[in-house]
Structure 1
């Protein structure tokens, strides 16, 4: 399988799911957009697309002009080619914007290990039907997708008390996940080195919060890795 991975900062890759893909012999083409790498013009050769998180926001096209081409590529892949897509955090928000939604500031930001509650539509979904009705996962975002309530191609699959669109799908092939199910043991400490992430973390949870956050993530890591494995195995069925 040929998978294209759109990355916005080197330390935010598909994490545990990347390890599973490599173990299965998938061919990964990683495009590091923040380093000036270009998305291939012909996307038809790829079986699936992963779009990861990042410290920038979807509206920052002036500061990050490559966002313009990225949005065009996502639209081409998802809307025109109708190929499987999995977006995390920023990748979730980019899909939301591409299909006509808007990305707005969360009130408040969601940072920490928090509850995700699935809707009844989960029971019939190819990716999430085997998930429990509630899981805990890592949140680290200050913006969220809104404005897609009337889009008949969108199905809401999970929410949190703060963010309605924690998981949604477009038609039956493109999925957006606002939280980070893909993380590994090293993730929180690595992300804590990013100034934007550290600032958001400390403003939400107080100075010195990184160590507590890291420990909380490690305590929940076996479950999150298990959910990643279920997600990945089911995503393969779309490819």
Structure 2
């Protein structure tokens, strides 16, 4: 089986539970700051997963690898390669498909529900109104031709599907160890008060026992798509 390409943008924002749940070989690359990114050919991978990061999805000046990531995503969808974009990854996917980045559209940090609007084989594993972790201030418009899957009042596009690609503005990859890492990482937590950090810890203890198994089931559904490509 060909490996799944995983694009990361920060050491503390890895694939989390997505990696083991894929049950496939992974090729992890971080090319966001490379002026000439070395990315595999799509014929050499069975799927593409793009993780989060603190940078803006259109900040090509400071992160010259972003255009290559967006081009790869556009080509992957055109070639019917399974794609999963998470947070920044969803924003890059939306831009690659003709959507617009909406900087500082509205900050969402913490656990909260998303309203599901359409059936999807991957997102559907989370349930009809799942509580998930949000950690973003940017948003995107719905790409032309894409299906809106989920929203919140603050973020009209929380999940979308276009062909082989699924974008999730929220964090599907989260597991307890990753949440603990984020809350201890200054780049993630510096702007949060002690009360906000305590609330995130408490909410994680309450929601992750339900969310983690559902997220693994969702990734397993994506893994089925990857295995069909082989």
Q: TM-score, normalised by structure 1?
A: 0.86
| Matches of 1:214 and 1:188, distance apart in 2 | 8
Unpaired segments ≥5 residues, structure 2: none
> Structure 2: how far apart are the matches of 1:137 and 1:127?
15
Task: Count the aligned residue pairs.
Answer: 224
CA contact under 8 A between 2:9 and 2:31: conserved in structure 1? Answer: yes
Q: For 1:47-126, what aligned pairs fall within 5 Å after superposition?
A: 47-79=46-78, 81-119=79-117, 121-122=118-119, 125-126=120-121
- Quick check: 1:9–1:34 contact (8 Å CA) kept in 2? no
2:7 aligned with 1:12, yes or no? Answer: no
Unaligned runs of 5+ in 1: none
Distance in 1 (alpha carbons) for counterparts of 2:149 and 2:196: 30
2:158 to 146, 166, 170: 166
Q: Where has structure 1 moved over 4 Å in runs of 4 or more? A: 34-37
Instruction: Supply the distance in 2 between the matched residues of 1:60 and 1:196 (Cα, whole angstroms).
Output: 18
Aligned residue in 2 for 1:236: 223
Contact 2:142 2:157 survives alignment (8 Å) = no
- 2:93 alignment partner, SS class: helix
Q: CA RMSD in A?
A: 1.9
What's the offset of the Cα at 1:73? 1.5
- For normalisation by structure 2, the TM-score amounts to 0.89
Residues 189 and 210, structure 1, Cα contact 8 Å, conserved in 2: no
